[in-house]
Amino acid sequence: MVQQSTGPLSGLLVADFSRILAGPYATMLLADLGAQVIKVESPGGDDTRTWMPPTRDGVSTYYLGINRNKRSVALDLKEPADLAAAQELARRADVMIENFRPGGLARFGLDYDSVAASNDRIVYASISGFGTGAGRDFPGYDLMVQAISGLMSLTGDPDGSPYRAGISVFDVMAGLHANIGILAALRHRGETGRGQHVEVNLLSSALSGLVNHSSGYVAGGTVPFRMGNAHPSLFPYEPLPTADGELIVIAGNDGQFRKLCQVLDLPGLPDDPRFGRNQDRTANREELRPLLVQRLAQRTKDEWFRDLLAAGVPCAPINTIDGGVALAEELGLDPVVAVGDVPGVRNPITFSDTPARYELPPPGLDEHGEEIRAWLKS
């Protein structure tokens, strides 16, 4: 049943006992890079199969977006034959990923200690919401973590309500952190022959991913609050109005600000002591903003975008998703790939010798169940 594929992770067998987003996203990326991923689902299937709209041919595009290059088997762990199959899969796997509540797989003999007893080379990755201590029984939903971590306090208008991010940002981040841990553990296994338990939780991923904001509190004692689209440490670094709409304008350093002023025909601003250095511009943003806006209002956002970018000033139109895909296509990034008859977003990593593969469309529930069960009995 196990088929060799191309890619840097070719030959790696991944038992995917995860569902929803963080785990399936992680395993899809591993599968793109050549790992053989067997997706173990309950008889009812991964929850995201029912998360719709939108759909493609009646199938949730949420599910389609994070499950390509996998084989599906539906196993009821309360049934002895299915449980035996799940345990045998874990025994054969190089990597196992799960996001049950901490301790939830112990009663099935599928927790790390039980699996490692028969497979000491296993790299076993657990993804939880709040770790295995006092937060072990908290349900691990991204929106909860956005609220608890402080992200929502940073998102929205200063005088408005807190907002969640437009995507499940910490699920995605935790999936990426899990993959970093898995690859590091595989490197260690290559040297020692021993696997290990890799643990990731959404709250820790969130606090790490809040980077300058969490550092500002931990190292500087500063509790940040939402500033709309403004940045606490840079200006300009936000949308500014033009003749026909807003344009993101960025001066990440003093040289970029000087270039911005050259294009806007404001040559005196970089030498003004209020604006010459980034910390000065940030402190005096309310004086600087109207000077920039007055000039930007004289032309359209597309005209400024072309000229500012040509001068080396970071700027961007505020697109909808279709515009983002279109620009990526225009830039030759080939963002859309065909996986069978299902379009998907290209794996973001490019390799010079071992490119990502796109061989299997997202599987139907238990699509490969008969084949997988027969292989596990052989």
Residues belonging to the active site: 171
Burial of 317 (0-12, 13-18, 19+ CB in 10 A): middle
Half-sphere CA count of 224, side-chain side, radius 13 A: 25
CB 31 within 8 A of CB 362: no
Distance of CA 247 to the CA centre of its chain: 26
Closest CA to 150 of 219, 199, 211, 101: 211
Integer Rg of the chain from CA? 25
Element holding 317 (H helix, E strand) = strand 315-317
Q: Which two tokens stand for residue 253?
A: 């350093």
Residues facing residue 72 across a β-bridge: 39
Distance of CA 40 to the CA centre of its chain: 22
Residues facing residue 40 across a β-bridge: 73
Amino acid 40 reads V
CB 86 within 8 A of CB 105: no
Residue ranges of alpha helices (H) inside the chain are 22-32, 61-64, 80-92, 112-118, 142-149, 169-192, 202-209, 211-220, 254-263, 278-283, 285-296, 301-310, 321-330, 369-377
Closest CA to 127 of 192, 176, 85: 176
